[in-house]
């Protein structure tokens, strides 16, 4: 059994606490995700999947419950510590790419490493390697507005890999792309998962996309209503530089 990366117990999230319009979005989520899994979290809009994603991504703290991410109790951390967790443990990929518009592709990929305090030379070398990984090395000087949607998303994936995070957390990564480029992006996730052994959590409302993954968790009205279960597999050796593979 691989290591448990995510261990959520009875996660509850409420908004407007103490006010008449108090709202409970998550109703006690229990969720375990192991290292090396490729998981899809599916649900209709308003189901609470975005809130769950925010919890997993350490963007928010649960109102109740415990969340261990890579053995750290995230629910107890302060803002500064959460920033550090996001920086080192999570690689975000967003529907709208969310690249910094003024910075070129290389700078965008460098940014998480900059925040991690990595030295300039090391940072640039690794950013170039990562751009090569997503086949964007030729366009490293391009700014986001000079790139197509698919290219932007590839840069964003390279950026998500910057600090070699425990989890790649992708929120509707193909939502803004046509189906062809969408497939290309999905292929990169498969590559990262299969060749790098990355743990990938995909949040989507699309059943087709979810079907590409190994495990589908369906969420509705703030609760997990189905889970196809944990899949076990043997991870291959890494073929890319700078990314570790841990097989336990």
Partner 1 sequence: MNIWENLKMALSSIMANKLRSLLTMIGIIIGICSVITITTLGTTLRSTITTTLNSLGSNVMEVYVSPKPSVDSDVAYDTISPDDFITYSQVEKLVKEYPDIRIAESNYVCEASSKNSLGKEVGTKITGAYNGTLDNDGSRLLAGRMISMDDVSKKKYTCVVTNVFVRQYFKNHEEPIGQTIKLVSADNGLPYEFTIVGVCTYNSLFSGAAMGREEDIKTPVYIPNSVAKEMQGSYGEERYMYWLLSFDPKTDGKIAKANVASFFEKEYPANKNFETIVFSNQDTMKIIDIIINVITIFVAVIASISLIVGGVGVMNIMLVSVTERTREIGIRKALGAKKSTIKFQFVTEAIIMCLIGGIIGVVLGLFNGFIAGVIANLVISSIPTAKQVLGTIVMVPSVTAIIISIIFSMITGVFFGYYPASKAAKMNPIDALRYD
Q: Give residues in contact with partner 1 (CB under 8 A).
A: 54, 57, 59-60, 79-80, 83-84, 86-88, 92, 94, 98-103, 111-112, 114-117, 159, 163
In the numeric block, the tokens 């109740």 are attached to: 64
Give the pair of three-digit tokens for residue 172: 């509707």
Contacts of 53 (CB under 8 A, 6+ apart): 41, 169, 171, 201, 203
Contact 61, 72 (CB under 8 A): no
For the bound state, the minimum distance from the C-beta of residue 171 to partner 1, rounded and expressed in Å, comes to: 9
Beta bridge partners of residue 219, listed in sequence order: 224
The CB-of-186 to partner 1 minimum distance in angstroms stands at 22
Helix (H) or strand (E) holding 195: helix 179-196
Contacts of 177 (CB under 8 A, 6+ apart): 149, 150, 153, 185
Shortest distance (Å) from residue 230 CB to partner 1 = 28
Confirm if 197 and 238 have CB atoms less than 8 A apart: yes
87: left (phi over 0), alpha (psi -120 to 50) or beta: alpha
Shortest reach from residue 191's CB to partner 1, in Å: 22
């Amino acid at each position: 059994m691989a290591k448990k990366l995510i261990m959520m117990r009875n996660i509850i999230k409420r908004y407007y606490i103490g006010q008449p319009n108090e709202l409970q979005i998550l109703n006690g989520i229990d969720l375990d995700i192991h290292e090396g899994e490729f998981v899809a979290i599916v649900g209709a809009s308003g189901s609470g999947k975005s809130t769950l994603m925010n919890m997993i991504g350490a963007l928010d703290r649960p109102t109740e419950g415990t969340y261990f991410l890579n053995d750290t109790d995230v629910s107890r951390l302060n803002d500064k510590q959460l920033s550090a967790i996001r920086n080192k443990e999570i690689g975000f990929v967003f529907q709208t790419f969310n690249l910094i518009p003024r910075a070129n592709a290389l700078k965008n990929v460098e940014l998480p490493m900059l925040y991690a305090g990595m030295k300039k030379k090391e940072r640039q070398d690794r950013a170039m390697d990562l751009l090569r990984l997503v086949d964007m090395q030729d366009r490293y000087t391009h700014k986001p507005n000079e790139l197509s949607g698919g290219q932007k998303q590839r840069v964003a994936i390279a950026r998500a890999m910057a600090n070699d995070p425990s989890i790649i957390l992708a929120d509707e990564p193909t939502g803004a792309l046509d189906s062809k480029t969408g497939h290309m992006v999905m292929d990169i996730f498969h590559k990262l998962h299969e060749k790098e052994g990355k743990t990938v959590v995909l949040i989507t409302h699309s059943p087709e996309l979810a079907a590409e993954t190994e495990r589908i968790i369906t969420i509705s009205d703030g609760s997990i209503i189905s889970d196809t279960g944990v899949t076990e597999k043997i991870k291959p050796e890494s073929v890319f530089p700078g990314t570790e593979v841990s097989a336990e």
